[in-house]
């Protein structure tokens, strides 16, 4: 036998670098040649392989966390008292989840759940982790146990694990989670309370694009009042259905929820405004093109966009108008998305009526609207009351949009810059602030 020397460590390091750099490749069999039984066996093997990879991923996450220790309390950069954030993992830097999200190419919340789940495997559920690594327990059931026992004391969690793990594969995921929670209530009620408080801190209302075309999702995560909220919405929908409304019950529930939140009948409250950013080509609005547009980011078809603008009274018979109770600002761009000019609807109407001052009787191509001249440098005015900041106009208002009239105490002659780059093919980008007064409909323009 020969003693390992320094060169052995170098060779091992080179080998590890080579192994990490090898592109990932999945082994696969020719599916067309497999029999029915062989296909089922291959699927079962894949499930076991997924479980092994999940255990390996947890091990890598924990090793990466161990390489990212938290700053000591006496460190000058350590945040103390109320400024200190709750650490995701004990003894691990609070920036770890940010780094992990970059590695996993996911959101911080997903990375935080992955790190907490890996920590639970190691501290509370070592037997579950071992079964996962051996491929005898699938990842879904291991996750169910980890989600229930994440806040339990290690000795309590391991006792529940020893009782449920031998038959976990024969139980459905819902039944396994329910049994684990029942045992946790019997043995560690404090952990259940902590789990409930942690969940309540996650309560929120979110909106995001729906996978259904032209729809959005409004989601609310609530404790037990969620059942009462749903009951109110469902009863109102059932009443509409009983009155002969032909729409589906789900659509009636959505309508009832929207009406309850907006309270269109209540004129004692201030108007609620919403901001829409509509990107569209003028040819698409004039039905000369079917090029898609955008509403608050997600793309929509030109036909859908025209329908939306019709609903918002932007293509009313009287012409382009500001939405009732709101304001509309046009940002004109070229085909490359560069901002050319901004103006309100009233400014555009005045320019159209006045025409070219140089050629009042001719059909010329003189520009009537542009970026405007750059402001001349001036000294800032002396404030009479230093404690009071100067008044500023809200973005998107008519005051801010009419800045080309000249410098004042609240406006500047500088043309507002675009909030974000527009599409390469867009010719008009409209940001509209709409109101929801009772008896009115919000509007926008482009």
Question: What pLDDT shows up at residue 91?
Answer: 81
Question: What pLDDT shows up at residue 397?
Answer: 36
Cβ burial, residue 119 (10 Å; 0-12/13-18/19+): buried
Q: What is the largest CA-CA distance in the chain?
A: 104
Question: What pLDDT shows up at residue 427?
Answer: 35
Cα 348 to chain centroid distance, Å, stands at 36
What are the boundaries of each domain within the chain?
A: 37-71+86-200, 204-262, 271-354+396-446
What percentage of the chain carries pLDDT values higher than 90? 29
Using only the alpha carbons of the chain, give its radius of gyration: 31
d(CA 386, CA 127): 66
Closest CA to 109 of 100, 119, 118: 100
Cβ burial, residue 433 (10 Å; 0-12/13-18/19+): buried
Closest CA to 191 of 226, 153, 160: 153
Question: What pLDDT shows up at residue 379?
Answer: 64
d(CA 109, CA 104): 12
382 three-class SS:
coil
Question: What pLDDT shows up at residue 282?
Answer: 64
Kindly report the number of other CB atoms within 10 A of residue 259's CB atom: 13
- Phi/psi at 204 (5° precision): -170, 165
DSSP 8-class letter at 69: B
Question: What pLDDT shows up at residue 394?
Answer: 38
Q: What share of the chain is helix, strand, coil (3-state, %, to 5)?
A: 45, 10, 45
Is-contact 101 107, C-beta < 8 A?
yes
Q: Which residue ranges in the chain fall short of pLDDT 50?
A: 1-3, 81-86, 300, 312-316, 384-446
Question: What pLDDT shows up at residue 295?
Answer: 65
Residues 6+ apart with CB under 8 A from 30: none
Over the range 346-373, which residues count as b (16 or more CB within 10 Å of their CB) and which as e?
A: ebbeeeeeeeeeeeeeeeeeeeeeeeee
* pLDDT tens digits for range 367-393: 666 666 666 666 665 554 444 444 333
- Please name the helix (run of DSSP H) or strand (run of DSSP E) that holds residue 52, with its range, or none: helix 36-66
Question: What pLDDT shows up at residue 350?
Answer: 73
Question: What pLDDT shows up at residue 83?
Answer: 40
């Amino acid at each position: 036998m020969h003693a390992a020397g320094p060169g052995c460590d170098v060779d091992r390091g080179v080998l590890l670098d080579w192994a990490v750099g090898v592109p990932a490749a999945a082994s696969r069999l020719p599916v067309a040649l497999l029999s029915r039984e062989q296909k089922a066996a291959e699927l079962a093997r894949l499930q076991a392989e997924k479980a092994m990879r999940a255990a390996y991923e947890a091990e890598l996450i924990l090793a990466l966390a161990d390489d990212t220790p938290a700053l000591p309390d006496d460190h000058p950069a350590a945040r103390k008292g109320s400024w200190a954030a709750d650490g995701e993992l004990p003894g691990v830097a609070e920036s770890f989840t940010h780094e992990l999200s970059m590695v996993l190419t996911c959101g911080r919340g997903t990375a935080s759940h992955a790190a907490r789940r890996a920590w639970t495997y190691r501290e509370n559920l070592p037997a579950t982790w071992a079964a996962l690594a051996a491929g005898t327990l699938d990842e879904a059931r291991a996750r169910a146990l980890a989600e229930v026992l994440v806040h339990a004391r290690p000795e309590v969690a391991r006792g529940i694990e020893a009782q449920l793990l031998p038959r976990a594969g024969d139980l459905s995921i819902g039944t396994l989670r329910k049994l684990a929670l029942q045992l946790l209530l019997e043995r560690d009620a404090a952990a259940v309370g902590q789990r409930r408080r942690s969940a309540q801190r996650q309560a929120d209302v979110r909106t995001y694009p729906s996978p259904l075309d032209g729809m959005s999702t409004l989601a609310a995560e609530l404790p037990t009042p969620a059942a009462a909220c749903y009951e109110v919405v469902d009863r109102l929908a059932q009443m509409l259905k009983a009155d002969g409304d032909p729409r589906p019950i789900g659509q009636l529930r959505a309508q009832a929820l929207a009406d309850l939140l907006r309270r269109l009948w209540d004129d004692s409250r201030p108007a609620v405004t919403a901001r829409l950013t509509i990107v569209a080509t003028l040819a698409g609005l004039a039905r000369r093109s079917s090029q898609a547009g955008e509403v608050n980011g997600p793309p929509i078809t030109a036909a859908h966009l025209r329908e939306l603008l019709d609903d918002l009274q932007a293509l009313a018979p009287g012409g382009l108008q500001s939405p009732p109770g709101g304001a509309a600002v046009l940002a004109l761009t070229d085909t490359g998305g560069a901002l050319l000019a901004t103006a309100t609807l009233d400014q555009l109407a005045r320019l159209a009526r006045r025409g070219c001052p140089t050629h009042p009787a001719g059909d010329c191509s003189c520009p009537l609207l542009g970026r405007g001249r750059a402001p001349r440098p001036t000294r800032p005015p002396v404030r009479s009351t230093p404690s009071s900041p100067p008044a500023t106009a809200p973005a998107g208002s008519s005051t801010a949009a009419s800045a080309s009239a000249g410098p004042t105490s609240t406006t500047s002659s500088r043309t507002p810059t675009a909030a974000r780059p527009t599409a390469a093919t867009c010719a008009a980008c409209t940001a509209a602030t709409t109101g929801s007064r009772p008896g009115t409909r919000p509007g926008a323009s482009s």
